[in-house]
Amino acid sequence: MGNILTLLLDSDNLLREGLKRLMDGSDFNVFAEVSSLDEARLSLAQEPGARLVLVDPCSGPDEDFSGISKLREGNDDIKIVVLTSNLSASCLARALEAGADGYLLKDLSSESLIQSLRLVLMGEKVFPSRLAGMLATASVSFVREETHNVPAKTGLSPREIQVLSCLVDGHSNKVIGRDLGITDATVKVHLKAALRKIDAQNRTQAAIWAISHGLGPVPAAEHGVSAGHAAAA
């Protein structure tokens, strides 16, 4: 990928120095390492060729995911990846909602980190595999407590929203169809339409979108859909 100009934003000086040394000899060239949002925005303004920012919103006294949105201002083409010690499904959702392109943990091996960053630059969304299981457990209580924040402009139907919610569990079309009382072929039709409306390329991206918009799996009994309505769903 060549010389990828990278900015490090973290309140921990030792962490920043370690990351900078780790990236020496890789495709990623750390042109600045700063401890505050203001410094980061100034550095980005002075380096128009910047392509990647690594940031830990949880490294300060308070979690501040709004900083991710602020970094995006005037820097639409830059990829922003959260690199944190906080293994939390709710933080993942908040980071993605703020506009992060990835959510990685600081205990990654150097090889895994570099590979994950390359995937981000290729347009992929990356997050820890350990969060996959949490998306169906810890994150469920979070998304149920939060107000659903599905933009009306997406044009998603109630059924498409249900299908997206079920993706959080990582279920197949067959299992989703069984839970909703519709056929797996009908699930496929709704899922295809939903992917198009939210501009997602695959099921993983759709599940991330669902989490970041306050959607989560709902027990079949709460769906209010019987098998008799399958054909019309």
- Give the SS3 label for residue 88: coil
Which domain does 205 fall in, by range?
138-232
Domain match, 17 and 76 both: yes
Q: What does the pLDDT look like over 183-208, one tens digit per residue?
A: 989 999 999 999 999 888 888 778 87
Instruction: Please state, in angstroms and rounded to a whole number, the distance separating the CA atoms of residues 74 and 203.
Output: 30
Domain match, 45 and 126 both: yes
Domain match, 43 and 111 both: yes
Q: Which amino acid is at 129?
A: S
Instruction: Please state, in angstroms and rounded to a whole number, the distance separating the CA atoms of residues 54 and 18.
Output: 13
Q: What does the pLDDT look like over 37-86, one tens digit per residue?
A: 899 999 999 999 999 999 988 765 445 688 888 898 888 889 999 999 88
The total number of structural domains in the chain stands at 2
Instruction: Please state, in angstroms and rounded to a whole number, the distance separating the CA atoms of residues 105 and 185.
Output: 37
pTM of the model: 0.62
Q: What pLDDT is recorded for position 78? A: 94
Q: Is 37 within 8 Å of 9 (Cβ atoms)?
A: yes
Q: How confident is the model at residue 126 (pLDDT cuts 50, 70, 90)?
A: confident
Domain match, 8 and 112 both: yes
Last residue of a domain, one of 131, 151, 172: 131
Domain match, 117 and 17 both: yes
Q: Is 211 within 8 Å of 96 (Cβ atoms)?
A: yes
